[in-house]
């Protein structure tokens, strides 16, 4: 049986699941209107049990203009839980504030849900094991696999300029972006890591921060083969991945050959980790993000 990842994800037509390439182009409308939100499916291989094609659930935003546009792939974080129902129950990530900011500057934005999250098919593959002896490399590579699938699919869409693609990520999604860069070559222009890492809290619920040296070591491993520039943005009052840990990861990544710039923002709210979701943080991150994108050749303003 052909599966369409839920009727809301891929639009059903006479021929089954409608592909991203077949989505209609937006007509020229007022730039003041909110960006159009679409639900799409991203192919992620075949189910090992019955061989049916599996899809990632993804949210797509597109600027109201014709022609090919740059693409931003934004990767979500993770709830601190071992319960698979709770991971799926958090629903789709949208990053409304960041997505609107990017769309207003001419980007299409896609937010894929990785395997095991929300409505995406496939088993969760990002369990890093014991908090005292975590495997951050393997889970980073698993998350990067879903980023790569999104890139492969959307880079062929008729509204995307395949030469102007960036990857972004928040928290666990930031770690996914770092891991993705290790094998990205020059397929994307660069990546932005917003408060990225793994093991900020023990999934078993102890409240402890998991072992940090393996995270720093894994950053070096990914940095050895990363070939694209990156911006790492953290906040002073982030208790999940504080600035000292961010600097250690960045130094390790750069020391191994990776290209990265660190920006530490002043405190945001009571807990700085979710700053990317706060309207009052936009004036803080928009300037360094704009400068970074300008350095990649994009004409953007804060």
Chain-wide mean pLDDT for the chain?
A: 88
Give the model's pLDDT for residue 42.
97
Q: Is it the case that residue 25 has pLDDT exceeding 60?
A: no
Distance CA 232, CA 154 (A): 24
Q: Is it the case that residue 10 has pLDDT exceeding 70?
A: no
Across 110-132, average pLDDT: 94
Give the model's pLDDT for residue 177.
98
Element (H, E) at 139: helix 136-154
Across 229-238, average pLDDT: 98
Strand partners, 265: 235
Give the model's pLDDT for residue 82.
63
pLDDT digits (tens, 9 = 90+) for 66-96: 899 999 999 999 987 667 777 777 789 999 9
Distance CA 61, CA 113 (A): 14
Give the model's pLDDT for residue 2.
34
Q: Is it the case that residue 190 has pLDDT exceeding 50?
A: yes
Strands (E), the chain: 12-13, 16-17, 36-46, 53-62, 69-75, 108-112, 160-170, 190-194, 230-235, 261-265
Give the model's pLDDT for residue 19.
35
C-alpha R_g of the chain: 18
Element (H, E) at 153: helix 136-154
Q: Could you tell me which residue, 120 or 8, shows the higher pLDDT?
A: 120
The CATH class, in words, for 33-295 is alpha beta
Tell me the HSE value of 211 on the side-chain side, using a 13 A CA sphere: 13
Q: Is it the case that residue 241 has pLDDT exceeding 80?
A: yes
Strand partners, 231: 192, 261
- Report pTM: 0.88
pLDDT digits (tens, 9 = 90+) for 32-46: 566 789 999 999 998
Across 101-117, average pLDDT: 96
Provide the residue ranges of all domains of the chain, joining segments of one domain with +.
Answer: 33-295
Environment class of 59 (CB within 10 Å of its CB; exposed 0-12, middle 13-18, buried 19+): buried
Q: Is it the case that residue 23 has pLDDT exceeding 80?
A: no
pLDDT digits (tens, 9 = 90+) for 264-278: 999 999 999 999 999
Give the model's pLDDT for residue 16.
32
Distance CA 98, CA 109 (A): 9
CA distances from 90 to 21, 119, 174, 197, 202 (A): 28, 10, 18, 20, 19
């Amino acid at each position: 049986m052909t599966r369409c990842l839920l009727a809301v994800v891929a639009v059903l037509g006479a021929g089954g699941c409608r592909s991203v390439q077949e989505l209609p182009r937006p007509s020229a409308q007022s730039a003041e209107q909110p960006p159009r939100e679409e639900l799409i499916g991203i192919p992620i291989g075949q189910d090992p049990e019955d061989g049916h094609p599996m899809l990632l659930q993804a949210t797509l935003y597109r600027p109201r203009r014709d022609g090919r546009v740059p693409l931003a792939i934004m990767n979500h974080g993770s709830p601190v839980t071992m319960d698979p129902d709770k991971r799926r129950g958090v629903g789709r990530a949208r990053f409304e504030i960041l997505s609107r900011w990017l769309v207003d500057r001419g980007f299409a934005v896609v937010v894929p849900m990785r395997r095991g999250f929300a409505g995406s098919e496939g088993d969760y593959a990002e369990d890093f094991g014991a908090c005292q002896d975590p495997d951050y490399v393997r889970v980073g590579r698993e998350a990067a696999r879903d980023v790569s699938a999104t890139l492969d699919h959307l880079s062929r869409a008729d509204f995307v300029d395949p030469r102007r693609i960036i990857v972004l990520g928040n928290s666990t999604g930031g770690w996914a972006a770092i891991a993705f860069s290790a094998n990205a070559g020059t397929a994307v222009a660069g990546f932005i890591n917003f408060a990225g890492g793994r093991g900020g809290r023990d999934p078993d619920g102890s409240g402890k921060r998991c072992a940090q040296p393996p995270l720093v070591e894994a950053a070096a491993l990914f940095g050895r083969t990363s070939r694209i520039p990156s911006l790492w943005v953290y906040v002073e009052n982030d208790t999940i991945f504080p600035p000292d840990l961010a600097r250690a990861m960045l130094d390790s990544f750069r020391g191994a050959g990776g290209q990265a710039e660190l920006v530490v923002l002043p405190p945001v709210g009571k807990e700085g980790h979710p700053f990317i979701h706060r309207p009052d943080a936009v004036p803080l991150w928009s300037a360094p993000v704009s400068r970074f994108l300008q350095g990649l050749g994009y004409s953007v303003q804060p």
